Amino acid sequence: MKKVLVAGASGYIGRYAAQAFKQQGWFVRAFVQGSEKLKRPGPFGKPALDGVADEIVTGDATKPDTLHDIADGIDMAFSSMGLRSSRPGLTYHDVDFLGNINILQEAMRHDVHKFIYVSIFKAAEMIEMQIVKAHEDFVQALKNSGIDYSILRPNAYFSDMIQFQKMAASGVIIWPGDGNLTINPIHGEDMGEICVDAAAPGHQDIDIGGPDIFTYKELFTLAFTSINKQPRIIFIPLWIVQGLHTLIKPLNARIADMLAFAIAVNTIDNAAPRYGKQHMKDFFENYAKKNFSD
């Protein structure tokens, strides 16, 4: 039986990747910071990994001495490990770049055949953002390492769209730009299947989106209608956000990065090649039933 190491296995994509590898007959070693979380389903429908992971190893990717032998006996390494929001004391460089370098080094030490890494769609166009740069610095290191690799580049996940439904529930969505650019987020389960397909030999660099392409305006309207609310969307002219970004950049790198992200998603169209079969409308409606019904 082939063995996969899943780093980031407690996260949105990591859980679905672990589940998909298991369903395809792989032995799954989940690498996590703490094993307790895996016993319970996570938010946004993330599956529990009880009965999915054959083995759980714990450690901190930023601390190489905690990673000893995580890749022992492993054929394939997969990583969706990364920092979701800046934690005090940790940067994207520390976690997304150096943390994944530490995992790669363990993989190479144990002659793992291939490394699959989840980066970001259109990264080259957003490289000034710290999160994107950290991902792409790792991609470069992976490509230079000599190990076989696949790079997955999703544009957005269903789980992230829930923030819009929450804003809709609060009564208003405020958004920079005019809402006419497009995006097609993907469900974690659909992403999981792509992760397993990416294990086939040979270098791959795959741009990924979900099956339904929306303008932001359409997506926000769906967020409102899924909770039976009249849409109320306020668009802030982009030049105001750009001005704020210029002012804040020398003062606060983290807020500047968030504004840079808001600018990027409103100047770069985010429609990616379509994969998967799960629909945003169903996801919003299911989430609404569980979380916003009276």
Quick note: the x/- pattern for ligand NAP over 251-270, rule CB under 6 A, is --------------------
Nearer to ligand NAP, 60 or 285 (CB): 60
**DSSP three-state, residue 17:** helix
For the chain, list the strands marked E by DSSP: 3-7, 27-32, 55-58, 76-79, 114-118, 148-154, 173-176, 182-183, 204-208, 214-215, 233-236
Window of 137-145, 154-162, 213-221, 239-247 that interacts with ligand NAP by CB under 6 A: 154-162
Cβ proximity of 70 and 106 under 8 Å: yes
Alpha-carbon gap, residue 105 to 107, rounded angstroms: 5
Taking CB under 6 A as the rule, does residue 62 contact ligand NAP? yes
Nearer to ligand NAP, 232 or 254 (CB): 254
Provide the minimum distance between the beta carbon of 168 and ligand NAP in the complex, in angstroms, as a whole number. 18
Nearer to ligand NAP, 76 or 120 (CB): 120
Provide the minimum distance between the beta carbon of 53 and ligand NAP in the complex, in angstroms, as a whole number. 12
Query: What's the Cα-to-Cα distance from 92 to each of 10, 141, 212, 262, rounded to whole Å?
Result: 18, 15, 30, 18
Provide the minimum distance between the beta carbon of 164 and ligand NAP in the complex, in angstroms, as a whole number. 12
From candidates 39, 84, 232, 289, binder to ligand NAP by CB under 6 A: 84
From candidates 99, 176, 192, 209, binder to ligand NAP by CB under 6 A: 99
From candidates 47, 154, 176, 209, binder to ligand NAP by CB under 6 A: 154
Alpha-carbon gap, residue 289 to 285, rounded angstroms: 6
Quick note: the x/- pattern for ligand NAP over 158-197, rule CB under 6 A, is --x-------------------------------------
Nearer to ligand NAP, 118 or 247 (CB): 118
Report DSSP letters for 165-229, one per residue: HHHHHHT-EEEES-S-SEE--B-HHHHHHHHHHTTSSS-EEEEEB-S--EEHHHHHHHHHHTTT-
Give the tokens for residue 221: 């309207």
Taking CB under 6 A as the rule, does residue 156 contact ligand NAP? yes
Half-sphere exposure for 56 (CA within 13 Å, toward CB): 20
* Residue 21, amino acid: F
- Binding-site ranges for ligand NAP (CB under 6 A): 8, 10-14, 32-34, 60-62, 80-84, 95, 99, 118, 120, 154, 156-157, 160
